[in-house]
A and B are shown apart, each in its own frame.
Chain A
Amino acid sequence: GAGVSQTPSNKVTEKGKYVELRCDPISGHTALYWYRQSLGQGPEFLIYFQGTGAADDSGLPNDRFFAVRPEGSVSTLKIQRTERGDSAVYLCASSHSGGAYDTQYFGPGTRLTVL
């Protein structure tokens, strides 16, 4: 079956611009996660959705970052006034119900480069 997909696969933008990154989770998965991975580090948690609502957004670094999941499936991560430090691979994952023992299935990521 179809896995988690993310678009675009690569995004190059200029400092100060606005970007949107999209995630299509596995159909039927209620839990959706966004992570950011910088070079040499493991993925860093950003936000977790359970259905349409953000159950935990404690990982969002500042108010330039925002994410939505209006219909409980596709999610969009939005970054305003991008900075060079936002350059990273942004990973999305989904799981069946979001429990501690649930496997998270990851997309291939979006590589964001801010010039």
Chain B
Amino acid sequence: ILNVEQSPQSLHVQEGDSTNFTCSFPSSNFYALHWYRWETAKSPEALFVMTLNGDEKKKGRISATLNTKEGYSYLYIKGSQPEDSATYLCALIDGQNFVFGPGTRLSVLP
């Protein structure tokens, strides 16, 4: 069973701070990693699909990097805003389905 870990479990930052968190996974048999943002009472929203070692993706103030050799991906948020408060999930492909990590719950305080 593929084991996907995320750290930290939760994070509180002040508005304007930059922050980052980690998704860790076994480095063997890597196919793709997906990042999602899940705001309370909404649907999980796709952020990035990362496939190649060294990939860097950016969407506004959010960016992500991927290291498949050492088995981790970082998600960065620059200048956090209250609307960034959400649970950030990473998921890896295992066979034909996704295996999700437990998520990092981010709270941005105004």
- In the complex, identify which listed stretch (B11-19, B59-67, B71-79, B94-102) lies at the interface while the others stay far away: B94-102
Please count the residue pairs between chain A and chain B whose beta carbons lie under 8 angstroms apart in the complex: 60
> Would A100 and B42 count as touching, CB distance under 8 A?
no
Across-interface contacts of A103 in B (CB, < 8 A)? 34, 46, 49
Return chain B residues, CB-CB under 8 Å to A40.
102
Residue total for A at the interface (Cβ-Cβ under 8 A): 26
Across-interface contacts of A109 in B (CB, < 8 A): 43
CA distance A106 to B39 in the complex (A): 12
Q: How far is the CA of A78 from the CA of B96 in the complex (A)?
A: 22
Residue of A nearest to B89 (CB): A42
Query: What separation, in Å, do the CA atoms of A103 and B102 have in the docked complex?
Result: 19
Asked whether A108 and B41 contact (CB < 8 A) given A33-B98, A103-B49, the answer is: yes
In the complex, chain A residues whose CB is within 8 Å of the CB of B31? 100-101
Q: Are A33 and B97 in contact (CB under 8 A)?
A: yes
Contacts of A59 in B (CB 8 A): 97
CA distance A35 to B44 in the complex (A): 12
In angstroms, how far is the closest chain B Cβ from the Cβ of A90? 13
Contact A55 B96 (CB under 8 A): yes
Interface size class on chain B is 20 to 34
Which B residues contact A (CB, under 8 angstroms)? 4, 6, 31-32, 34, 36, 41-46, 49, 51, 89, 91, 93, 95-103
**11 A-B pairs whose Cβ atoms sit less than 8 Å apart in the complex:** A35-B100, A42-B100, A42-B101, A42-B103, A45-B98, A56-B96, A91-B44, A98-B96, A103-B34, A104-B98, A108-B43
Residues in chain A within 8 A of chain B (CB atoms): 3-4, 33, 35, 40-45, 48, 55-56, 59, 91, 93, 98, 100-101, 103-109
Given A43-B100, A103-B49, 16 other A-B residues pairs in contact with their CB atoms under 8 A: A3-B43, A42-B89, A42-B101, A42-B102, A42-B103, A43-B44, A43-B91, A93-B44, A100-B31, A100-B32, A100-B93, A103-B46, A105-B43, A106-B36, A108-B41, A109-B43
